[in-house]
Structure 1
């Protein structure tokens, strides 16, 4: 059975080649020429609020554990609540970054 509305031309399948998707062209040079350090720096430049949220979360957790170890349970509880707020801030920063990058990315016509 053949369909009348064929999406791709009749080309034999070649598993050694990536699939051809109309309107999509991956930028292979950017992915292969970028080291881990370069990618990390680029991600920080794209959304600098996320690393700040991660540092705030780690700091609140560390200080809360330190206070718990020292026996200051009231301060430890306060820092655990602060950690939850910092985690929420970080998640919102990640989601905000995704929205901004989705709005900035060019859309195919």
Structure 2
């Protein structure tokens, strides 16, 4: 669509694209592999400390709790260093995602406006058909109230009904069918 907001020039050379949650998780693992490594080391140290506690080995348990603290510090250091290293890229990605969101909202709005225009057109067509049916009915009523000889009155009534049926497009049921099928 031509109403889409253009992407900022900073995205021209960057390789940003829409991604799913799984794709984002894989990308982040590739960018910062030390964070999951630190989390794994922390978990392993906790597991070993739990086993030592169950075995009543206080020396090993204390050693594993210290290892857990070191692993947590390593993980925190990896998070901070990665945050500083990828700061500009993350800001660009956030800006890119905002632009994508604005584009999606504009597309939704355009689709909604198109749907409203279609509904409005259908409504106008229905009103026009309904007005034609009412006009034919009034015309037939006016002709039937005029005094005429009895044989010609029946012929005139029959002709009025036939002409109103032609104007209606085959009757009320056909008008309803055409309304339901979208005026086709």
Structure 1 residues without counterparts, runs of 5 or longer: 1-24
1:106 to partner: Cα distance: 7.8
Q: Distance in 2 between matches of 1:36 and 1:104?
A: 18
Q: How many positions carry a matched residue from both structures?
A: 79
Per-residue CA distance 1:10-63 (angstroms, 9 max, x = gap): xxxxxxxxxxxxxxx9xxx84xx4222211101111111111000000000111
Q: Distance in 2 between matches of 1:42 and 1:55?
A: 18
Report the counterpart of residue 28 of structure 2 in structure 1. 43
Report the counterpart of residue 19 of structure 1 in structure 2. none
**CA RMSD, aligned part only?**
2.5
1:70 to partner: Cα distance: 1.0
Structure 2 residues without counterparts, runs of 5 or longer: 1-10, 93-184
Per-residue CA distance 1:72-103 (angstroms, 9 max, x = gap): 11100100000000000000000000010125
Q: Specify the SS of the correspondent of 1:71.
A: coil
Which of 22, 35, 38 matches 1:53?
38
Q: Distance in 2 between matches of 1:103 and 1:48?
A: 19
Which structure has more helix as a fraction of its residues? 2
TM-score, with structure 2 as normaliser: 0.39
Q: Distance in 1 between matches of 2:47 and 2:68?
A: 9
Quick check: which has more Rg, 1 or 2?
Answer: 2
Q: Moved runs in structure 1, 4+ residues, more than 3 A?
A: 103-107
TM-score, with structure 1 as normaliser: 0.64
Higher relative contact order (CA 8 A, sep 6+): 1
